[in-house]
Copies of this chain bind each other. A is one copy, B any other.
Amino acid sequence: MEPVPMLLAMTYRAMGDQFHDRLRQIGLEPLRPAHGYVFRFLKEKRATTVDIGQHLGVTKQAAAKIVNELDDWGYVLREPHPTDKRAQYVTLTTKGRDYLKFADNLWADLEGEMAEAIGEDTLATIRRGLAAYLQHVHGEDQPGLRPVW
């Protein structure tokens, strides 16, 4: 019996590969999963580079590199923190929000195909089950997103 993590890794990769393939047909910048997760994070809340690093599960220096790329490509911009002169808020530009919308549609398509393959209810159970496990293990502060290889 295969360990669950193998299934998780394989499924993650399978979905990611499909996403990436379809994205490449559009011909956008070489966005990696990390970039997408940053968009999604920034949609929810105002965040600094340090926040982003923590969310991704990498150091602040690594997060800074990612933010720099997104900045260069025009997906985000930095604005001064209102009260803390050291800090900067990273915020989505219109281009960033557009990308996120596009990606969300693509994910929805992929999940739709998944639901069709394994059943709507099974997918829902997977979703709830994993979320519950994460809740159980980590409480409110979620683990990093980066899969450690």
Give A residues with C-beta under 8 Å from B. 2-20, 32-34, 37, 40, 57, 104, 107, 111, 114, 117-119, 122-123, 125-134, 136-138, 142-149
Q: Is the CB of B134 within 8 A of A7?
A: yes
Q: Is the CB of A114 within 8 A of B4?
A: yes
Q: Is the CB of B149 within 8 A of A13?
A: no
B-chain residues with CB within 8 Å of residue A107 when the two chains form the complex: 3-5
Copies in the complex: 2
B-chain residues with CB within 8 Å of residue A4 when the two chains form the complex: 15, 107, 111, 114, 123, 126-127
A48–B85 CA distance with the chains assembled, in angstroms: 58
A146–B17 CA distance with the chains assembled, in angstroms: 11
A99–B20 CA distance with the chains assembled, in angstroms: 36
A134–B114 CA distance with the chains assembled, in angstroms: 10
* Known A125-B122, A129-B123, A136-B118: A111·B12 in contact at CB below 8 Å: no
B-chain residues with CB within 8 Å of residue A132 when the two chains form the complex: 117-118, 122
A119–B126 CA distance with the chains assembled, in angstroms: 12
Q: Is the CB of B122 within 8 A of A33?
A: no
* Known A12-B5, A143-B13, A149-B147: A130·B136 in contact at CB below 8 Å: no
Q: Is the CB of B148 within 8 A of A16?
A: yes
B-chain residues with CB within 8 Å of residue A136 when the two chains form the complex: 117-118
